[in-house]
Amino acid sequence: MANRSKERIEGAAAVLMSRDGYRGTGLKAISDAAELPYGSIYHHFPGGKEEIAATAISSMGTMVGALLDGLFAEGIDRATLRAMFGFMADRLEGSGWNDGCSIGTPALDGSAASPAVREASRQAFGRMIEPMATALVRQGASQADALEVATTILSTYEGATMLARAQCSRAPLDLACRSMVRLVEATSTAP
């Protein structure tokens, strides 16, 4: 039961931070969203909001990294990039342009406020970059080029997510996806 409550707190924090960021997410909102008494927050997370945020970001990084491992298991191409960028476009549109990335949104304001959130964000982004870099190496890119392109893909994805959310439009993610397809194709065909 204790692990389930802890998971509910982490999950609620991830959802709320994807919408409201680190600073905009309060402990009361987390306990309400998790449908748990306020006191259970400090029982499971004695470090309070900072510990919850770092743990939620870390868990999301692990989960998203695993999803990207599966998505890019056969390589990075037009279809897999469309799936990645399309996922976020669907998520944003389905939430009325409110729910962003559970890692990127809290990293925007939390990394300046908390070294623990900054470190959790750094590691989570690394877990997202790694499957893309690995797939690009399998497609013939050098390790350095693969890391550069994978970092560019993630940076573009996160930036396009912010633009799409601000513009209430899928267009930034669609445009970014097309550009990343061209980048990957150029990298894969490079000598």
Q: Provide the pLDDT for residue 162.
A: 95
d(CA 1, CA 6): 9
Contact present, 54 and 114 (Cβ < 8 Å):
yes
CA distances from 140 to 1, 75, 182, 186 (A): 47, 11, 16, 11
Q: pLDDT confidence of 110, banded at 50, 70, 90?
A: confident
**pLDDT over 90 percentage in the chain:** 88
Q: Is the pLDDT of residue 17 over 80?
A: yes
Using DSSP's 3-state secondary structure scheme, residue 26 falls into coil
What structural domains does the chain harbor?
58-189 (1.10.357.10)
Average pLDDT, the chain: 94
d(CA 97, CA 109): 19
* Tokens of residue 145, six digits: 């080029």
Residues sharing a CB contact under 8 Å with residue 58, sequence separation 6 or more, in sequence order: 120, 123, 124
More confident call, 111 vs 34: 34
Q: Provide the pLDDT for residue 2.
A: 58
The model's pLDDT over 112-149, given as tens digits with 9 standing for 90+, comes to: 778 999 999 999 999 999 999 999 999 999 999 999 99
Q: Provide the pLDDT for residue 3.
A: 81
Query: What average pLDDT does the segment 18-28 reach?
Result: 94
Predicted TM-score (pTM) of the model is 0.92
The model's pLDDT over 52-72, given as tens digits with 9 standing for 90+, comes to: 999 999 999 999 999 999 999
Q: Provide the pLDDT for residue 1.
A: 54
